[in-house]
Chains A and B, each alone.
Chain A
Amino acid sequence: MIHRRRVNTNLIAGCIITGLTVFIILVGYFWTPFDPAGMDASAINAAPGLPHLLGTDRFGRDTLSRIMQGAGATLRIAFFAVCIGAFAGTLIGGLTGYFGGILDELIMRLSDAVTAFPSVLLALVAVSIVGRGSDKLILVLGVLFIPSFARVVRGEFVKQQHRDYVKNARLMGVKDARIIFVHILPNISAVLLSSIAIGFNNAVLAEASMSFLGLGVAPTESASLGIMLKEAENSLMSAPWQALSAGFSIAILILGFSLISEGLGFNGIRSRTSKRRLRLNAENA
């Protein structure tokens, strides 16, 4: 067998892009060039230049500062929504996949039903019930993400469950919980990680579209990329930099995560885990 070190360009590029954006966002929490909410009547719809690097909006607010803050809000929502979805989804998918039976059928049919609706539509309904605000948006998106994670994890569990090492563990008398979390979970981590990265993408997009439709973050709460897009809509012709910079930020965020999930999913990273997996696959092939 040939051990060639393949450089995983996708993963590296994804990590660099995501790392940079996260860094900028973190900086945005402590320092922005201007107050993101501070209006300046002397610089309304100012074009990019000095001192406003990305220009200003129709209230004279600095676009760069608002993006730094808004991307933070978007990322925060995406992060917690994915946390809820991935945690609950893994738990549900793991248990149903492992134990099977009627509960498994029931939950999977339920998730079929949920998946059948466009998720934004469901989110609209849910938000109109629970109300606006970033915390509520996190909750709604998180719950909506559960089925997709549950499905992926369940599939993997069903697959792993028939592997001999799981049978062997069961024969040894390993408790079910230990089999699920200590034996099977690490073995599906690659799949789980890449679906988490994809989940991030969906969450960022969902936040943006919900806020764009006026159902996400309240404009009084903080900036968010979706809100900025919405606000930029009116001055699209006269001051295109507002829409462009918000849209571009969304694209960059998503690009970073996509590259990471691509890198995790297909090539395996240069960490021990994936190298092992890679060799394993090569040997099995």
Chain B
Amino acid sequence: MPKMLNESAQPAGEALLELRKLRVSFNDGRGGEVVRGIDLAMEEGETLGLVGESGSGKTVTALTIAGLLSENLVTVSGEIIFGGKDLLKCSRSELRALQGRDIGMIFQEPMTSLDPLMRIGFQVEEPLRLHTKLPYRERRKKALEVMGLVDLPEPSETYRKFPHQLSGGQRQRAMIASAFITHPKLLILDEPTTALDVTVQKQILDLLRTLNERHSVGLLFISHDLRVVRHICRKVAVMYQGEIVEYGDTAQVFSNPQHEYTQRLVAAVSAGRRVYD
């Protein structure tokens, strides 16, 4: 069994994120509802895994929380309470301040999530440029500090590099550094390790775990890879066809799945479990 997370993190704190009856449908004329009224809560410093097959609505949920779905494209109803505020009712500038500082997001493909024509250092410190008034020197100092924290080799050199000069794992580390530099309360990770090979996967997961334990960053971990979720998340929610069909402690859900879909999921990866542990 992987070591349980969060034993050191504060127990049952204030709710960090709460989804209430969240519904998302695409405005494509067919009225396809992708997320069908889900309720979900996360405490501060918690690690929550959102698992499900492709098309189950987990990524759409994440993008909705991050406010990255265009209003022309989707209709959202329900509430997303973050830090005591309903994100769906916030003005654009309020969202900008809140999301940029307190919510970070890591995407699946580290190749495309960094601007290919901008030096790594600038991208890492960009949130500081936007949300603080720190002068360049201070920003650079902080960027180097965070880059060291995420184990990027020789930060001062990497600072000047371009994304194509880094490996996939390093790019993902740079992404994490950029998302983490403002010390957000929540990191949304959309399949952050899917594009990486297994050894690098492990390193990135360990890094995320460290950030969670030392800095109590809440992790909302979206994945279809149950082994990864088992490895890092304390709580897990299983999504199936736009609904959450099962929610609970990771160990419990996986050892004693209630819903039929979860049982099938767990059965499907039980062969792989031994390899990973």
Contact = CB atoms under 8 A, between A and B. Distances in A.
Nearest to B70: A100
Interface residues of A, number: 24
Contacts of A267: none
Contacts, number: 75
A283 B100 contact: no
A251 interface: no
Given A165-B112, A165-B113, A280 B164 contact: yes
A76 interface: no
Query: What does DSSP make chain A's interface, helix, strand, loop or mixed?
Result: helix
B61 interface: no
A164 B112 contact: yes
A198 to B, nearest CB: 22
A277 B105 CA distance: 25
B115 A171 contact: no
A172 interface: yes
A168 interface: yes
Interface residues of B, number: 33
Interface string A167-197: 1111111110000000100110000000000
Interface-central residue, B95, B105, B109, B115, by most chain A CB under 10 Å: B115
A163 interface: yes
Given A172-B126, A173-B97, A173-B131, A167 B162 contact: no
Contacts of B131: 173
Given A186-B117, A280-B116, A172 B72 contact: no
Interface in B44-61: none
A276 interface: yes
Given A101-B72, A164-B109, A172-B126, A187 B116 contact: yes
Top 8 A-B pairs, shortest CB-CB distance: A173-B100, A164-B113, A173-B96, A164-B107, A165-B115, A172-B100, A186-B117, A164-B112
Interface of A: 100-101, 163-165, 167-175, 183, 186-187, 273, 276-277, 279-280, 283-284
